[in-house]
Structure 1
Amino acid sequence: MKILIIEDEIDLQDVIRTFLEKEKFLVEVAKDYNSGLEKVANYDYDCILLDIMLPGGNGMQLLSEMRDLGKDGSVIIVSAKDSVEDKVEGLELGADDYLAKPFHLAELLARVKSVLRRKHQQGVNMLEHKNVRIYPDERRVEVNDMEVQLNRKEYDLLYYFLVRPDKLVQKTSLAEAIWGDNADQADSLDFIYSQVKNLRRKLKENQADIDLQAVYGIGYKLV
């Protein structure tokens, strides 16, 4: 899952980024209004951590711009401003949560997992499709109640498709979601093929009732 941190305090940005990367999230950063808006406009994120006071603009306005663009990623406002008015404004603009600074990283992680659970998992701790189950908080996969060992990218691929069943996903979108925004600069997308191939093999070996079907020249679809 991919997270964007829009925060101008570089030390805090680095601390949050390092912490979330250790929790196996793919993390991108922006340090001001304009770079944050550019990221939001051009890429999709599962969750955005958004400061209110930013160089070049206001986080609330950025949130409004994001929603006007039709971007539906979850947003947690992270701000030193802890007034009721700011909380109400943020929630009315479409934020999913509001966390006042200073905060414990464990609480931030719990808030991130909570908004992602609501967005992708209907609020429950498990995703299930046919005989395949994923427990995102533990990054654990089971087929027929037996645990299947996947590497990080294989797991991320499977999760991405399970929350988008029957949807055709273009290779470029898949690369961006799993490998980050810089993936669109790669000379080829062959690295996707090898990871998908390995994931398909493991699903087949464990008798999963799902598969990733290649659609020639376009991408993949969970069937």
Structure 2
Amino acid sequence: MKLLVIEDEQDLRNTILHFFQQEKYLVEVARDYEEALEKLYLYAYDCIILDINLPGGSGLDLLTKMQASQVAYNVIITSARNSLDDKIVGLDLGADDYLTKPFHLAELNARVKAILRRKQLSGSQLLQLNNLRVDFESREAFVEGTNLTLNRKEFDVLSFFLLNQNKLIHKTALAEHVWGDHTDTADSFDFIYSQIKNLRKKFKDSQAQLEIQAVYGIGYKLIVH
């Protein structure tokens, strides 16, 4: 899962970054309004942790732009302001939750997981798709009860496909979601091809009832048999 942390306080930003990296999230950061706006235009995120007070602008203004873009964003506001008005405005602008500073990282983590679970899995951490069963909490996948051994990137790729069933997924979107800004320095998409190849082989060997189909020149689509 990919998070964007928009926070101008360096110590807090780094603390949140390192915490969620240890939780196996892909995390990117923005330090001010302009950097946050640029990342929101360029990349897609599963959840955004948004500070209201930012150099160069307001987090509430960013929420307004997100709402106007008609793209679905999952947002948790963090702010030192313990203001009911700010909370109401933020939630009215489409934020999913509001957390007042200072807060415990465990609580922030729980709220992130709750949003992702509610938005993507209808409140469950388990997904059953024909003979494939995926536990997003333990990051394990099973076919007919047998563990489908996946490395971290393979699981991230599989998760992205499962949460976008029957949708055409562009190679760039997949790369940005799983590998983040590091894709900007890549000479090719060979790192994606390798993961897809490995997943296809594991699906075939385990007789999983799903398939990753290539759409020439564009990307991939997960097909359920």
Partners of 1:116 and 1:109 lie apart in 2 by: 11
Matched residue of 2:147: which SS? strand
Percent identity at matched positions? 56
RMSD: 1.0
Deviation at 1:221, TM superposition (A): 0.7
Matched residue of 1:211: which SS? strand
Deviation at 1:118, TM superposition (A): 1.1
Deviation at 1:7, TM superposition (A): 0.1
The letter of the residue matching 1:165 is Q
Q: How many residues align?
A: 223
Q: Which residue of 2 aligns with 1:46?
A: 46
Query: What's the CA shift string for 1:108-154, capped at 9, x where partnerless?
Result: 11000000011110111212221112111211211112222210110
Matched residue of 2:75: which SS? strand
Give ranges in structure 1 of 5+ residues lacking alignment: none
The letter of the residue matching 1:47 is C
Q: Which residue of 2 aligns with 1:62?
A: 62
Contact 1:41 1:66 (8 Å CA) reproduced: no
The letter of the residue matching 2:34 is N
Is 1:173–2:170 an aligned residue pair? no
Q: Which residue of 2 aligns with 1:23?
A: 23
Partners of 2:79 and 2:128 lie apart in 1 by: 36
Partners of 2:184 and 2:201 lie apart in 1 by: 26
Query: What's the CA shift string for 1:25-72, capped at 9, x where partnerless?
Result: 000100001110111111110000000000001101111111212221
Partners of 1:15 and 1:47 lie apart in 2 by: 17
Contact 1:44 1:71 (8 Å CA) reproduced: no
Matched residue of 1:127: which SS? strand
- Runs of 4 or more consecutive aligned structure 1 residues displaced over 3 Å after TM superposition: none
The letter of the residue matching 1:125 is Q
Q: Which residue of 2 aligns with 1:105?
A: 105
Give the TM-score of the pair, scaled to structure 2: 0.96
The letter of the residue matching 2:189 is L
Matched residue of 2:161: which SS? helix
Contact 2:20 2:27 (8 Å CA) reproduced: yes
Q: Which residue of 2 aligns with 1:145?
A: 145
Contact 1:175 1:184 (8 Å CA) reproduced: no
Contact 2:168 2:220 (8 Å CA) reproduced: yes
Give the TM-score of the pair, scaled to structure 1: 0.97
